[in-house]
Amino acid sequence: MKAAAFEVARPAVLADVAALLARPGASVLAGGQSLGPMLNLRLARPAVLVPISHLGVLREVSETVASVTIGACVTHAVIADGGMPDIGWNLLARVAEGIAYRAVRTRGTIGGSLCHADPAADWVTVLTALGAEVLTTGDRALPLRAFGVEITEVPITPRRVLTALMKARVPA
Ligand SMILES: Cc1cc2nc3c(=O)[nH]c(=O)nc-3n(C[C@H](O)[C@H](O)[C@H](O)COP(=O)(O)OP(=O)(O)OC[C@H]3O[C@@H](n4cnc5c(N)ncnc54)[C@H](O)[C@@H]3O)c2cc1C
């Protein structure tokens, strides 16, 4: 089966995303590794897809003494390849390299995994257990545990976009 027809509205900058998502039936597209199959099976029928993976600001990684902040569109492959600071035990790279196979890891993003919120997903389980926080547009920070509840209870089209994930270091 193939996806139903949809429009693509590509934002130039993050600030454009909210307005595009306000269009009827609009939905965020990150790596497409979960949404793509849902489109093809017609389990999701967005009228407008708003791709965000090309936005550089969503692929940034920063570090303080206390935490590492990972942009929502950092891919599993970048994390598996050690492209970010180690939070302890090389944990993030070890989790990432266990996700699916290389082609999925190359496109799939850490933010997409958290927003898809499959309770069996690797990042959902590990990062909830570690007490990670998520940042959404407007720089609102909330615990991943609360975010998971919120996105399964609000309508499927997110008006707010996950921008980054903030992870405290693993205790030695
Ligand atoms: C063959 C296969 C095997 C897999 N195996 C595993 C596995 O072993 N372990 C595992 O954990 N996962 C696995 N996955 C899932 C994979 O990790 C996906 O990458 C992930 O679930 C979704 O990330 P994505 O970037 O592709 O998101 P997309 O598919 O683009 O989006 C998923 C959902 O999240 C929303 N969304 C995405 N980004 C944002 C954002 N920043 N803000 C707001 N909403 C957003 C979208 O609107 C959509 O509803 C597998 C997938 C496939 C196809």
5-47 pLDDT, tens digit per residue, is: 999 999 999 999 989 999 999 999 999 999 999 999 999 999 9
The rounded Å distance from CA 156 to ligand 1 centre is 14
The Cα–Cα gap between 82 and 89 comes to 12
Q: Is the CB of 167 under 6 A from ligand 1?
A: no
Helices (H), the chain: 17-21, 35-40, 76-80, 91-96, 102-107, 110-116, 122-129, 144-153
The rounded Å distance from CA 34 to ligand 1 centre is 4
Answer yes or no: pTM beyond 0.85. Answer: yes
Pocket test for ligand 1, best of 14, 17, 34 (most atoms within 8 A of CB): 34
Q: Is the CB of 72 under 6 A from ligand 1?
A: yes
